[in-house]
Structure 1
């Protein structure tokens, strides 16, 4: 049995690069896929490109819907929650990357090892390229295990690498398409890891991630980029994002595993306390980032009440 993958493609003014991305879908070694494109109001050649591939592949292989026009995260969540989209697995896709030919095959191989009733998320490192496809290096290689305690304060992988199963998708649907979140991929990591799911971070890249002026979120790579991310902790970005995630988790709080609910309650309770109990409580909750520098930043953010 070949498991069907729904490719959830969000587009907005993606004309210059979209055809290459679609070509990389067509070159997949795992061939049981359907593309669901949600366009957020493009005024360039995006619709022409989609129409051309729809004619080539057939209207049942590439379906186009109108996005909510509330930003990229809302566009992705609108696709995740569309009732008419039903598949074994769901792969999120940006409009301007180039997938390696075995991207879906590798994801499906791992997802097949997880019982269908257990939420599961596959994600990978990425290979970075410039606008013309020139190699720029790789996204950070994370070595600490993915978990809810990590997900509360950090996302380990880009949504463009993520593939998840139907059980994970049902949890995301239960939380709803209108959740106010920092980013769709971080949200998927929080939900799947929190609700007793399995998360696998594959250190082998699955795609070429294109870096250009229009990138909404650039790659978190290099010392300068990492220091910038740590700086955001001190400026209160993490506190704002955590506030959003605490509210967004409310509809599915009962689905958190017992251990993760305990972690969540310790963490959220500690955030409201005065200096010493706050720092001690946050430390006791067990949250962590992937690098020593990141964890130092976390400690300072806790001291400064920026978490």
Structure 2
């Protein structure tokens, strides 16, 4: 947890194997600085089976956590907000390339992992700036008293069909190709993340998840949980429990970042909050590489 004169950040996350898979191929990392208004959540949903997916997702989240943990330097702090935003964007772009290459290299060293890859979704908060990036169909949402907004749009076959008017949102949820993604880390030499910047001007909850959660919840159902369940950070546990009650067909990962504006809580000046992690890492047999 971090506190400053005007901003309070708290973060939590959890990953779960679900009720069907034999292994958890998801990986998650999260962190909130103890003294600065800085925090992040990174979730990766691996694919490939035979431990390949778990390796790919672990490479992705570990690569990003190493970079993000070193982001706030004296040079960064001396920059303007616009420059800082550009530095965050650049760090994300560069790290996507680095993680992508690391997964490809691991495939070359381990031919049994030839089909592995991973999705990625991450959120970085610095002061009132939010940067969200994703590759694949792991998602980010933002809830405030104004309601819920799905920040990311899936890189998937069904999303392309929705955009083309060939499929409705309701049809997409039950389509037999709903797990087919069109972009992933570790599949091609070049991969482009979608990166978005937003300004946080009111207290908000950021929810990141793998499709093991979004499989079971539409936006209104997620909004209900985020609006009513307190403490807010414990939404991670409630959402995973409810996804398992609905069948838990896939691994489930959830990260929550709580942004509180105009906090009157005294700043924290000692101690630290270690990065969180969850690495129960299964086989996405129905998710082919593209």
TM-score (normalised: structure 1): 0.25
Task: Give 1 or 2: higher helix fraction.
Answer: 1
Larger Rg: 1
TM-score of the pair, normalised by structure 2: 0.26
Greater relative CO (CA pairs within 8 A, separation 6+): 2
